[in-house]
Amino acid sequence: MVSIGGPKPNNDATAIDPSIAISQMAGNTASRKRFIETTLALAENYKFDGVELAWIYPKTKLDMTNLHNLFREWKIAADLHNFPNGRKLLLSAAVYCYPSIPNAPNEEVRYTGELDTCIDIFNIIFYNYSPVTSYHSRFGPIRPSHNYNTQDALQEWRNVRISLTKLVMGIPLYGGKWIMADDVNEVTDGAQAVEYKGRVAYRDIPDPETGGTYDDVAWCTSKVERDANGNPFWYGYEDTKSVSKKIDLNVLFERAWKTGSAASAVAL
């Protein structure tokens, strides 16, 4: 499956925000038609099983209407397209962790059950919950009334009229890294940090499967490591235990994302 769109790169000030480009395309009938024809040809030429639109933050109700129009027209065209061996193309949408989109301009923007008829897979971004020293993909609430967690978000998606078999759980293959404010050997969620060092790939976390502290509520692991000068770094991430527990839920498919210039969806 190939994914189109995604977030704007943080390290490139000149990069075009995919969300803006997708909004402009989806709002124009002719542009939607060109997009659909191009993606169907791409899928056929490279034998993709599906195509995903990663428009994570539709900002207005009009955006959401245009999103529905795009997928409705896309689904009709995909079903009519003569793919080799009579196969059908899967259409996927990468969506925000909750059905309601935050930071919308004075209006509630929500995914609705109407999308169920034209989208085959809803890839839910169950990560990037917190920019501070916290587990960015926590499963359960670490503190009372702490809403950003997969357990609460999943329940809200279950309340939307969308087939549960179409919901896909997002699992990141990266964690977060911070320089700590105090000289400590162990820190807790929300500890004071001097600087956020950004995302760190699982492979770049020092010995991620040993020496860390596993949180039974968050289903995440943290650990403190020191650089050559003795400065403490805090890592928060998913390890094999947390990923295995999420897979064992047996209510969703699984989707994994890696850090870097491109994201990768894999079947687990």
At 28, is the secondary structure helix, strand, or coil?
A: coil
Phi, psi torsion values for 196, nearest 5 degrees: -90, 125
For 67-109, the pLDDT digits (tens) are 999 999 999 999 999 998 889 999 999 999 999 988 767 778 9
DSSP helix, strand, coil percent of the chain (3-state; round to 5): 30, 25, 45
In a domain, 267, yes or no: no
pLDDT: which is higher, 66 or 267? 66
Asked whether residue 28 falls in the same domain as residue 61, the answer is yes
In a domain, 48, yes or no: yes
Q: Are 200 and 176 in contact (CB under 8 A)?
A: yes
CA atoms within 13 A on the CB side of 133: 21
Asked whether residue 94 falls in the same domain as residue 124, the answer is yes
- Under 8 Å CB-to-CB from 30, ≥6 apart: which residues? none
Residue 264 pLDDT greater than 50, yes or no: no
Q: Which amino acid is at 253?
A: F
Least confident of 69-78, 127-136, 165-174, 238-247: 127-136
CATH number of the domain residue 250 falls in: 3.20.20.80
Query: How many domains does the chain divide into?
Result: 2
Asked whether residue 180 falls in the same domain as residue 168, the answer is no
For 215-260, the pLDDT digits (tens) are 888 899 988 888 888 888 889 898 999 888 888 876 555 455 555 5
Residue 39 pLDDT greater than 90, yes or no: yes
